[in-house]
Amino acid sequence: MDTLAPVAIPVGVLGAGSFGTCLAMLCAREHDVRLWARNPEIADAINQERRNPAYLSDIEIPKGVTASSDLEEVLADRELVICAVPSHGVRDVMGRAAAYLSDEAVVVSTVKGIEVDTCMRMDEVLSEVLGERHDPRLVFLSGPSFAREIADHRPTAVTVACHEEAYAISVQESISSPWLRCYSSTDVIGVELAGALKNVIAIGVGVCDGLELGLNARAGVMTRGLREITRLGVKLGADPLTFLGLAGMGDLVLTCTGDLSRNRRVGLELGRGSSLHEIVAGMKEVAEGVRTTQAACQLAERHGVEMPISNTVRALLDGEIHRSEVVEHIMRRQLRSENE
């Protein structure tokens, strides 16, 4: 017997990429779902053919999902709104969405990134564009969760964080399913930083694997990468334990080692000698770490936090160093205590 039986509520999902599509399908088990697609042709195809032609196209979309390219139509009377657009589109999309959001709507962000121009986390961007009235009901979902596996009903565990824990628990109850288990948290800063910065480290791990540096190197970069993510997070007020949980270590392990990881793929190809332009041009979906790396390094410098692996990734992406110099860039640094 299914013990997870949430009360049906109207849900709006913004973003018809892989993650938005899989969450729309997941929510349609119990809820009435409207899915916003930027491209009207995608919305029409979903409604007529019950498939998203661009993402997860082999999976039938339930009739409980109605797609539209009209933000007002999608958001009207929605009690739960899920934002699943790329980080560089959050300010624009949610800025336009603000006019149509109910004052009582709970907004869930699944976006893992840092805004390039401002170095703001997504919780800060949403707070700014939506205003104070929505602050208590901003919830952030993160953790080791490839959209493909959720769509295939593979067991997945994630974290949902909100400053007001009651809303995190409400979302936890609304979207958990027999194959998606949500854990609640109040550490928004930690969950947001962990989700964004693990993408940077995943590029670094991909580079090491592309250079065929071995499993020792992979483990070292992941471990020290988690250390520098934690260092910045604690400086900004996060709970260090968050970085040992699903949003931290869990997502880092998945993104650094999983074949479905776009950020790992970027690093692999860089390590093998491809140019960043070639790699990005050949990708169907956004690898958030490419944009996040620059912002993460600026944020760390602003707060006086050392992030040597992230800075090495930034230098490689910017063309300041060659892939052959990556090892020396990291290994020749001054020796120090592991706890630093």
Q: Which residues are catalytic?
A: 198
Closest CA to 109 of 96, 94, 131, 119: 94
- DSSP code at position 244: G
Q: 10 Å Cβ neighbour count for 280?
A: 13
Beta strands in 138-230 (DSSP E): 138-142, 156-161, 180-185
Q: 């964004």: which residue's tokens?
A: 196
The answer for residues whose C-beta is within 8 angstroms of residue 249's C-beta and 6 or more apart is: 226, 243
- Could you tell me if 197 and 113 are in contact, meaning their C-beta atoms sit under 8 angstroms apart? no
308 forms beta bridges with none
Q: Among 140, 131, 68, which residue's Cα sits nearest to residue 98? A: 131
Closest CA to 218 of 264, 173, 176, 269: 264
CA angle 61, 67, 72 (to 5 degrees): 155
Spell out a b/e string for 61-96, using b for 16 or more CB atoms within 10 Å of the CB, else e: beebbbbbbebeebbeebebbbbbbbbeebbebbee
CA end-to-end distance (rounded Å), the chain: 50
> Distance between CA 259 and CA 278 in Å, rounded?
19
**How many residues can be counted in the chain?**
340
DSSP E strands in 123-241: the ranges are 138-142, 156-161, 180-185
Cβ neighbourhood burial of 99 (10 Å; 0-12, 13-18, 19+): exposed
Residue 106 tokens read as 């709970």
